[in-house]
Amino acid sequence: MPWKSTQASDFRNLKQMKTMNQLARRSMRPSAVLWDGLNCSNTDMSIPPRITSLNLSSSGLTGNIAAAVQNLTHLEKLDLSNNNLTGGVPEFLGNMKFLMFINLSGNNFNGSIPQALQKKGLELLVEGNPMLCLSNACSKRSNVLVPIVASTASAAVVIAVLVLFLVLRKKKSTTVEGTSTVNDTFANKKSRRFTYSEVMKMTNNFQRVIGKGGSGMVYQGTVNGSEVAVKLLSQSSTQGYEQFKAEVDLLLRVHHTNLVSLVGYCYEGDHLALICEFLPNGDLKQHLSGKGGRSIINWSIRLRIALETALGLEYLHIGCTPPMVHRDVKTANILLDENFKAKLADFGISRSFGGRESQEFTEVAGTHGYIDPEYYRTNRLAEKSDVYSYGVVLLEMITNKPVISEEYHVAEWVGTKLNQCDITEIMDPNLCGVYDYNSAWRALELAVSCTDTSSSKRPTMSQVINELKECIACENARMSNNQGLESQEMNISLDTSVVPGPK
Give me the active site residues, please: 328
Q: How far is CA 208 from the centre of its chain?
A: 30
Nearest-angstrom CA–CA distance, 375 and 357: 14
Position 492: which residue type?
A: I
Nearest-angstrom CA–CA distance, 51 and 160: 40
| Distance spanning both ends of the chain, measured CA to CA | 75
Nearest-angstrom CA–CA distance, 464 and 493: 43
CB 335 within 8 Å of CB 228: no
Nearest-angstrom CA–CA distance, 413 and 425: 11
* 119 annotated to bind ligand: no
Nearest-angstrom CA–CA distance, 369 and 346: 17
**What residue ranges in 41-187 does DSSP mark as E strands?**
51-55, 62-63, 77-79, 84-88, 101-103, 108-112, 123-125, 132-133
CB 349 within 8 Å of CB 243: yes
Q: Is the Cα dihedral 436, 437, 438, 439 positive or negative? A: positive
Nearest-angstrom CA–CA distance, 311 and 191: 24
What are the binding residues for ATP?
Answer: 231
